[in-house]
Every structure is written in C-alpha cells, then in structure tokens.
Structure 1
Amino acid sequence: MDKLNFDALEALSQPLQGAESNLQVNGENAAEGVIEGTEAKRYALLEQQAETARQGRALWQKQADNILRSEAARTGLLKGIAAGEDPFALLLQALACISLMTGDTLLLEQGRADLLAIYGEGLLEPVPLQMQLAQVRDRLARLKAARPTDPDSAARIQRAVEAHQSRLQELQRLQNNTVDKQNTHNT
C-alpha cells in the first residue's frame, strides 16, 4: 500500500526552521550562549511553534498508520465473511477496525469484554466461551511464568493464579453444560 503524502504538513514547518536559524546571539553574551529580551521571546515562541509542528506531524503519522491498519482489517473482515468464519470473531475484527479508524481503543476493549460476558457466560454461546477460556488460560500461563522478587509480589501472584484457576474451572463447567445441552437437544 502506498505511503500517505505529508509534503504539505512538512512544508508548514519549513518557515519555522529557517526563522530559527536567523536568531543571532549578540557579542556580549556570545560566550555564554544567552539570548535575552525580545530575542528570547521570539526564540521561545519559535521553539513552541516547532514543537507544535512536531506533535502535529506525529499525530498525523499515527492517524495515517491507523488508516493503513484499518484498511488491512477491513480486507480481512471481508475475506472472513466470504470464508464463512465465526460471526463472533468477525464482530471482534469489525470492532478492531472501528477502533483503529476512530482512535478509540476503549471501544475495542469494552466491546470485547461485553461480547464475551454477555454471549459467553450470559447466553452460553460456545465460541465466546472458548474465547474466554483461551484468555484465562493465557493469563494463567503468564502468571505462572512470572518470577516475583519480593514476598508481597509472590503472594499477590499466587492469589491471582488461584483466582484464575477457579475461573478456568467455572468456564469449563459452563462449557460442559453447554455441550451437554446441545447433545440433549440434538437427540
């Protein structure tokens, strides 16, 4: 995919760069490199404008990167629909795409949490339950791999491991109940 063109944005900072180089330090303070009076104010203003331009370029670059990533997400979403992928996975991809396009990372986090809680535990849909199980297993593995250096951290990690093991058992029980219901319903 072609890179986005930021020439116009770069051009905004050109006059600032030229103006910055025109600042002169008078002969009395040349050894110290001190700029005083109106020159100091101009210099501070130019520095502030240059920083604003740098921040603007960084913001535009981040947005451009998000646009490129969202285009890839949209393509993956359409391919997933055509391939008959799971609707829950496709919905999460759509949330990720919207999140990238808007810059709203909370949308994806909240949407994922709600989807898994409502459709997983609430409605006992198999795929969201499997997604929840995978997340809990992943977190449990990371907790078990942690190497705390102090006793307080070790105790907190141990409590977290126990809580995740309990959560894993609860989700597995829900998943087994769902499988049993499906088997009973299909016969």
Structure 2
Amino acid sequence: MKHRRLSSGLGLLEILLALFIGGLIAAGVLLLHGDSNDTKLCNEQKEEMLDIVAAARFALNSQPDTSKLNTYTLGKSGLLPRKYSKSYGSGADTSQANWNGLVNAFGGPLYVFGVKYNGIAYVQIWVYNISKRQCISMVTQDYRGLSTSQSINFLHDSQGAAYTLADAELYCKDNNTNYLGYNFFM
C-alpha cells in the first residue's frame, strides 16, 4: 500500500492569500493614517485661526484702526507663536525684507485683513493651497459659534454653517489650489 506524504510547508495558494490579506490591511492603515492626519491638520488650522483672532483683538485694543490690521502687522506684532511665521533663510531674521508672511497648518500661505463694514469690525482670514480632501474636512465643520462667514474659493458663503458633503464636493477643487475665507467679529 502506498502512503501519501503530508506536506509540511505552505502551498502557493495559502501564500498568495496571506499576501492579499496583508495588502488589504496595509491599504486600510494608510487610508486611516491619511484621514487622521487631515483631521489633525484641520484641528491645528482651527487653533491657528483662533490664535489669530485673539491676537487681532488684542492689537485692535491698542490700535483700533482696522485698516492697519494685516498679515504683516499681525505677524510682526509678536502676538502670534513663531510657528505661524514663514521666513526665508535660517528663519531667525524676520525683518520685513526676509519675512514671507504667515503659514497655515497645511503649509500654504495665510492672509489676514482687518475690515470694517457697516460700523462692525471683522478680521478676515484666508487659508490658501489646500487639497480637496483637506478642503472638505475643513468646510464640513460648523463655525457658527466662531465665524460669521465661511467661503470656498470665493464661490459660496455658508454664513459660518457647515457645508453638506455634497456642497463641499461641488465647491472644493480637485487640486491643491483651494482657498477658504473666514470672517470673525472683533
């Protein structure tokens, strides 16, 4: 009688199945990491905007002329953490010649303007160069308690309310050139 020899190793099918499952797990981890990083950056951006608003309010207490409130004067005031400033060279010299403005949490430029409309003072904050996914993450959050206005690419203003996912998909561009605008009461 012939005896069948039992195989002690894994067959090709088992190895391919294990590789496929491992690939699925790795893809899931990468997707979750990307989403968590976007959430982290969105939270950092909200914190930065609140810091800017607080600094603008403090600056306007000593100089109530909103027309003099801008990216440069606020950035040079010393009221903001240095991590929000972007400069050329070593970063130690933030004189006007070497200073390159404020940077948002996503790495793009951030602009600040003091505005007075119908006697009401606002600080406008514009966040530039964000991806579609980051844009959607930012605008689907509700800013009504913080901002009177939330605008995507100058196309639509939600009055500070969160955009629906469908509207966010519609207004956020497919590249890294999205910009968001916010108005905060002073």
TM-score by length of 2: 0.34
Larger radius of gyration between Structure 1 and Structure 2: 1
Structure that is richer in strand per residue = 2
Query: Could you tell me the TM-score, scaled by structure 1's length?
Result: 0.33
Structure with the higher helix share, 1 or 2:
1
